[in-house]
Amino acid sequence: MRARGTPILLGFFLLWVVLDRSATELGSTMGEGGWIVCALVIVTGVAVEVFVFGRTLRGAIIGLGLRPGRRIVVVWAAAGSAATLLYFPGFSLVTGAPLTLRSDWLALLPGLFLQAGIAEEIIFRGFLFHHLRGAWPFWRAATLSAIPFVAVHLLLFTTMDFAVALASVLLSLALLFPLPWLFEVSRGSILGARDRALRRAGLDQGGRGTRRRACPIGNRLDGRGRGGAVALLPFASTGWPAGLALPATNQALDANCIL
């Protein structure tokens, strides 16, 4: 797997170019063309998984995280997202700053969900982190996948007002490790990684002729993995549901295993 670093990097670059260029050409800064952008990312991601990494069509779709997540993780991700949204009316209430919404905000939500949620999570968690996790323990894979995640968000300073771009970058920094961790405890579903992108189930994820193997994902934390809970500190204010199994972070995850 380590020898496949170049295909992983090139695959990530291709996926990001597809997302960025299609959004630019469609003028989809707020998800106006999110349906098309998301569809293009999915098609490209599946093609890379099938033709570069040798997965079956079904294995490629599942490998990208497009399957139902664990219910408890999805609920917790939704609760965290709701708490985040409450920041804005709370800030307005405390400071007296007016809170205004675009007149078309409701119509933009589906496209924004697909573009900034599903498509982005496919690239960073379903593809990049998932492949890196196949070679390295959680912390190393999450750290490596965080570098391009932050880098692309820094580009927002070139297209958005400074305050808006800064808020987006700070949010991305806060989610550097919680998002990969939620992806992992959801057994590889982007639906568990973000309320903006949720999905996955346990089907054949291997390439052609790949035998089924057991996965370390979903194991309870062992002595060396307990420190991984630090990844969830940004969510500490809302607590952590009892009984949620956390994966051991000292193991590398076979990207071709059955989750």
Range of the domain at 173: 2-238
Helix (H, G, I), strand (E, B) or coil at 118: helix
Any domain includes 245: no
Any domain includes 53: yes
Q: What token pair was written down for 37?
A: 């952008």
Classify residue 188 by burial, with Cβ atoms within 10 Å: 0-12, 13-18, 19+.
buried
Any domain includes 249: no
Dihedral of the alpha carbons of 193, 199, 82, 172, in degrees to the nearest 10: 30
Any domain includes 205: yes
Higher model confidence: residue 190 or residue 235? Answer: 190
d(CA 224, CA 216): 14
pLDDT in tens, 56-72: 999 999 999 998 877 78
Q: What is the number of structural domains in the chain?
A: 1
Is the pLDDT at 21 greater than 90? The verdict is yes
Least confident of 87-91, 124-128, 133-137: 87-91
This prediction has a pTM of: 0.71
d(CA 209, CA 79): 40
pLDDT in tens, 202-248: 223 333 333 334 344 333 333 333 333 333 344 333 333 333 333 44
d(CA 254, CA 248): 13
Any domain includes 109: yes
- Picking from 172, 175, 205, 174, the residue whose alpha carbon sits closest to that of residue 189 is 205
d(CA 114, CA 142): 23
Any domain includes 83: yes
